[in-house]
Structure 1
Amino acid sequence: MVGGGQLARMTHEAGIPLGIRFKLLSDTPQDSAAQVVSDVVIGDYRDLDTLRDFARGCDVITFDHEHVPTEHLRALEADGIPVRPGPDALVHAQDKGVMRAKLDALEVPCPRHRIVSDPADVVAFAAEGVPEGDTDSDGFPVVLKTVRGGYDGKGVWVVRSAEQAAEPFRAGVPVLAEEKVDFVRELAANVVRSPHGQAVAYPVVESQQVDGVCDTVIAPAPGLSAELAGQAQELALRVARELGVVGHLAVELFETSDGRVLVNELAMRPHNSGHWTQDGAVTSQFANHVRAVLDLPLGDPRPRAQWTVMANVLGGDYPDMYTAYLHCMARDPKLKIHMYGKDVKPGRKVGHVNTYGDDLDEVLDRARHAAGYLRGTITE
């Protein structure tokens, strides 16, 4: 697995019961997965020689992130090394411009968008969205995104004027403009697909964001009609098939007030919106990702409980962690805590908790209390 973050750490954990020998390419020995994997290579994934040396002897290569240069992945494939997902699929998660163009060709519903060249072009894009005869609107706000490299709110701007639109262009990379969707809530459809085309779909979840970072995930999404949930799952499965995805695919969605779903982002790896599956599904996203990239039969994605809630633990003012564990575990014996071994930084994801049960309000309260106590924002 290329990348030493928490996704690699939890994917490694899922492979242990199967006796899988797991090799890791990590930036530093302190990375989350490097702390627990026995076979670790420290190196730069952007260096092709490093990648080739690392891949030698591996049965298959997969990823903790989407940042490995596309041309390097093509070189690995040319060397005869299976890469899953492959570069032709992964580029759609690496490059938002490529993703939007492909989804348009597939007639997948998306927000209005196009690549823009400068702030004046942003003004023109905003104006294109003004209804005919509306003289009070200039089309702002709009969303600007760097086509590569953004995540967790980074590389994304909500701009309300030409002056505010200047910042994204300073990096000198292409910029994608999108309409700011007036959505009801954010959803995510998680699916897994194997090389021979077997695929499974998890229940569609509600993903609640705070400052552009995932805070809470509720599985399944409360109040979502069976019809719209089915449409979202079918859409995600179709995208996975058409793009040739092997492994886990997360399709982040906007639910609109008129009962539609629009595709916001794609991620081709285990995803924060699927962390609830560790304790809430028959087969977790991590276990199914391992099965998929090794072309093993996929596991049952169905939920174990009526409701499962995942709450992220973000960096803050930590009390003594042992004391925090004493409190959280004694208060809620069913609580599942997953910490990543990461240094605490304000706002950084350092862990998550999962709760489950039959009463959604109670399950939500348990998850948010535990996440807040582990962060240090709740003290009793």
Structure 2
Amino acid sequence: MALRVGVIGGGQLARMMIAPAVELGLDLRVLAENEGMSAQLAATAVGDYRDLDTVREFVKDVDVVTFDHEHVPQEILRALVAEGVEVHPGPDALQFAQDKLVMRSRLAELGVPQPDWAPARDAAELQAFLDAHDGRGVVKTPRGGYDGKGVRVVRAADEAQDWLDALADGEALLVEELVGFVRELAQQVARRPSGDMVAYPVVETVQREGVCAEVIAPAPAAADRLVRVAEGIGRKIAEGLGVTGMLAVELFETDDERILVNELAMRPHNSGHWSQDGAVTGQFEQHLRAVADLPLGDPGPRSPWSVMVNILGGPQEGTIGERFAGAMIEHPSAKIHTYGKDPRPGRKVGHVNVSGDDLDDVVYVARAAAAHFD
């Protein structure tokens, strides 16, 4: 019988695990939150991942559980583990992707470079941090934020007063120094339960309005030291937190030549979409190999350069499907991936991958192919 891998969450990441699961001979099963989600082709159940009975019913027929997102509550994850279910990444690791304050504290214990930070329980604590950091800071809600949500740059504590007022007893916001960075990077590693690990090339990510718009692999003009430091940070975090599966470490390259950890994701990640077509082993196959404790694949690039451009929003008129032919005719080297989502302003509805020898040409083709879906 094929190994049965259960994915909690029916979004685009689960959708993109379907093809590599088939190729690896794995039986992929998905618990989707709603009917008609991106991964509906593999959705064997629909229900609330926050309900223990629903999750218990789903995992009865799987050998290992993994995730499309980090939002499954800790009490449910720990209940599964206590009942003997293989969960990767496990709750002890996933907690650090679920709560940014917990993450910052643990990374400090590991000696990983990161921005100055502090918990802010009230306006006085927040203002004290701002006063000590040139009157500016980045305030984050510790849980639930993504794609720029739950993040504010503030210059006075009252600019986050609504978030402070919403805190329950014992809760705090996270405040960080406003880092002067020259670019954002991402380092991905994959780790098996046995401890074996591989690292992908460090990549440059381009953000627009808090959303990842483009990824260049490998990061241009990356000195050997930067490559070594980024990979070392990724490996140290994966091992130190006990991550199993894919880990993405978002990084800042600062104007004073530091490499600092921004955030973590313990799953396939937008910064690794390029690897679907540009690496020997794409991140979705690699994640399945890792959580199933299969030998890891070669993460090396197939071409000198790969560029991923997100399709954001989708066409204002007509459907996404109507745009495929034009993009394919004009840009036959482009690999187009869509998520089965309806167009909506700012929504990630797909991405385009292009690889080649000349970076300027690769960037041009990727952007031009993605523009067909505007």
Q: Give the Å deviation of 1:318.
A: 4.1
Letter of the aligned partner of 2:193 in structure 1?
P
Report the Cα distance in structure 2 between the residues aligned to 1:194 and 1:6, rounded to whole angstroms: 23
Name the residue aligned to 2:3. none
Name the residue aligned to 1:146. 141
Name the residue aligned to 2:326. 327
SS in 2 for 1:324: helix
Alignment CA distance shift 1:303-1:318 (3 Å): farther
Letter of the aligned partner of 1:8 in structure 2?
A
Letter of the aligned partner of 1:333 in structure 2?
P
Q: Following superposition of structure 1 onto structure 2, how do residues 95-134 of structure 1 map, counting pairs within 5 Å?
A: 95-129=99-133
Name the residue aligned to 1:2. 8
Name the residue aligned to 2:271. 273
Of residues 363-372 and 201-210 in structure 1, the stretch that sits farther from structure 2 once superposed is: 363-372
Q: Give the Å deviation of 1:370.
A: 1.6
SS in 2 for 1:374: coil
Report the Cα distance in structure 2 between the residues aligned to 1:322 and 1:350, rounded to whole angstroms: 12
Name the residue aligned to 2:39. 33
Letter of the aligned partner of 1:269 in structure 2?
R
Report the Cα distance in structure 2 between the residues aligned to 1:297 and 1:192, rounded to whole angstroms: 11
Report the Cα distance in structure 2 between the residues aligned to 1:14 and 1:359, rounded to whole angstroms: 29
Q: Give the Å deviation of 1:321.
A: 3.5
SS in 2 for 1:32: coil
Report the Cα distance in structure 1 between the residues aligned to 2:166 and 2:70, rounded to whole angstroms: 20
Report the Cα distance in structure 2 between the residues aligned to 1:321 and 1:192, rounded to whole angstroms: 33
Is 1:93 the counterpart of 2:97? The answer is yes
Q: Give the Å deviation of 1:323.
A: 4.2
Instruction: Say whether the 8 Å CA contact 1:141–1:160 is kept in structure 2.
Output: yes
Letter of the aligned partner of 1:156 in structure 2?
V
Is 1:291 the counterpart of 2:289? The answer is yes
Is 1:227 the counterpart of 2:222? The answer is no
SS in 2 for 1:341: coil
Instruction: Say whether the 8 Å CA contact 2:130–2:156 is kept in structure 1.
Output: no
Q: Following superposition of structure 1 onto structure 2, how do residues 185-334 of structure 1 map, counting pairs within 5 Å?
A: 185-316=183-314, 317-334=316-333
SS in 2 for 1:297: coil
Name the residue aligned to 1:135. none
Name the residue aligned to 1:83. 87
Q: Give the Å deviation of 1:322.
A: 4.4
Name the residue aligned to 1:21. 27
Alignment CA distance shift 1:318-1:171 (3 Å): farther
Instruction: Say whether the 8 Å CA contact 1:353–1:371 is kept in structure 2.
Output: yes
Report the Cα distance in structure 1 between the residues aligned to 2:148 and 2:179, rounded to whole angstroms: 16
Q: Give the Å deviation of 1:18.
A: 1.6
SS in 1 for 2:212: strand
Q: Give the Å deviation of 1:169.
A: 2.2
How far does the alpha carbon of each residue in 1:234-276 deviate from its partner, in whole angstroms, 9 at most, with x for none? 1101110111100000000000123220000000000000000
Instruction: Say whether the 8 Å CA contact 1:228–1:260 is kept in structure 2.
Output: no
Structure 2, unmatched stretches of 5+, are 1-6
Letter of the aligned partner of 2:39 in structure 1?
A
How far does the alpha carbon of each residue in 1:337-373 deviate from its partner, in whole angstroms, 9 at most, with x for none? 0000012111000000001111111111111112222
Two-structure CA RMSD over aligned residues (Å): 1.2
Report the Cα distance in structure 2 between the residues aligned to 1:156 and 1:146, rounded to whole angstroms: 7
Of residues 52-61 and 273-282 in structure 1, the stretch that sits farther from structure 2 once superposed is: 52-61
Name the residue aligned to 2:346. 347
Instruction: Say whether the 8 Å CA contact 1:318–1:374 is kept in structure 2.
Output: no
Q: Give the Å deviation of 1:174.
A: 2.7
How far does the alpha carbon of each residue in 1:151-183 deviate from its partner, in whole angstroms, 9 at most, with x for none? 111111111223312132243253100011000
How far does the alpha carbon of each residue in 1:195-232 deviate from its partner, in whole angstroms, 9 at most, with x for none? 11110000000000000000000000000101111110
Name the residue aligned to 1:132. none
Name the residue aligned to 1:74. 78
Instruction: Say whether the 8 Å CA contact 1:204–1:219 is kept in structure 2.
Output: yes
Alignment CA distance shift 1:322-1:77 (3 Å): closer
TM-score (norm 1): 0.94
SS in 2 for 1:350: strand
Structure 1, unmatched stretches of 5+, are 130-138, 376-380
Name the residue aligned to 1:182. 180
Name the residue aligned to 2:4. none
Instruction: Say whether the 8 Å CA contact 1:15–1:287 is kept in structure 2.
Output: yes
Instruction: Say whether the 8 Å CA contact 2:130–2:155 is kept in structure 1.
Output: no
Report the Cα distance in structure 1 between the residues aligned to 2:359 and 2:147, rounded to whole angstroms: 26
